[in-house]
Amino acid sequence: MLSVIRTREWAFPVPPARREVLRATPEADLGKPPVLFVPGFGHAAWVFAEHWLEHTADRGFPAYAMSLRGHGASAPAPKADLRAYAHDVAQVAASLPRRAVIVGHGAGALAAAHALARYPAKAGVLVAPVFGGPSTALRNPLICLPALFGGRLRLSANQLFSRELPSSQGRTYAKRLGRASRKAQWQLLAGRNPEDPVGDPPVLVVGSPDDRIVHDSAVRKVARRYGGAPLLFPGMGHDLMLDARWREPIDAILDWLEKA
């Protein structure tokens, strides 16, 4: 179903915001599409700058990592909603020189999925997607309880990473996390299903059966919605791009892009 009439979006356009975009460009232009990484709630561009960004550029793809508004070095946005986050993704994607591949992680995958309905991406990749809904909250009561009262989602190192990552490193990462807006957290709980993507892009879903935040069945459900099976990396935590074995999933994603 295409959404043609968007009076609400026309009457209330998302307010503009300054956004942080980091990039790594390959040495030579091999004609490969640009890849845009979208971090999840609380995360910012730096989580991709740690490993994936450079690695993607080394493999010949122009790579970009953004921060949603209210995250990282983007403008503060305490009142932002999910539509504003999706708008941020579509804005950055449309500013790139060519049709982009959008890679969203966690709840950023949901923002990316909403953006895919507003921008005809070359391809979409949803990594450990958090599409929300009450079941996600029930699985993580301790994370979500404060969020019910407007607090932040409490993501701790042992929930985000596998044991292979040194715990001191994990704690350093977890300390750098910020928070999403109260409204967006509520919308995540409500779990509105994104519209179908425009331009019929291929969509790949990546996850881990040992992810302590997204259950295996939730990843499979998202993959089914986009007509496929998920690519799973057992033994890894939710933050696949920061975990000890970060190289495996990104190589698999780039291999898939080269084939698609």
| Contacts with another protein, residue ranges (CB under 8 A) | 1-2, 4-13, 16-17, 87, 90-91, 94-99, 118-120, 198-200
Side by side, which strands form the sheet with 123-127? 21-24, 63-66, 35-38, 101-105, 123-127, 203-207, 231-232
Closest listed residue to residue 206, CA positions, set 103, 67, 116: 103
What CA–CA distance (Å, rounded) separates 16 from 198? 23
Q: Which is nearer to another protein, 50 or 196 (CB)?
A: 196
Q: Which is nearer to another protein, 1 or 138 (CB)?
A: 1
Report, in Å, the least distance between residue 69 CB and another protein. Answer: 10
Q: Which is nearer to another protein, 87 or 238 (CB)?
A: 87
Report, in Å, the least distance between residue 182 CB and another protein. Answer: 23
Q: Which is nearer to another protein, 94 or 148 (CB)?
A: 94
Give backbone dihedrals phi and psi of 149, rounded to 5 degrees, phi first. Answer: -100, 20
What CA–CA distance (Å, rounded) separates 65 from 25? 12
Report, in Å, the least distance between residue 139 CB and another protein. Answer: 34
Report, in Å, the least distance between residue 10 CB and another protein. Answer: 4
Report, in Å, the least distance between residue 119 CB and another protein. Answer: 6
Instruction: Classify strands 101-105 and 35-38 as parallel, antiparallel or unpaired.
Output: parallel
Q: Which is nearer to another protein, 69 or 238 (CB)?
A: 69
Give backbone dihedrals phi and psi of 22, rounded to 5 degrees, phi first. Answer: -100, 150
What CA–CA distance (Å, rounded) separates 205 from 226? 8
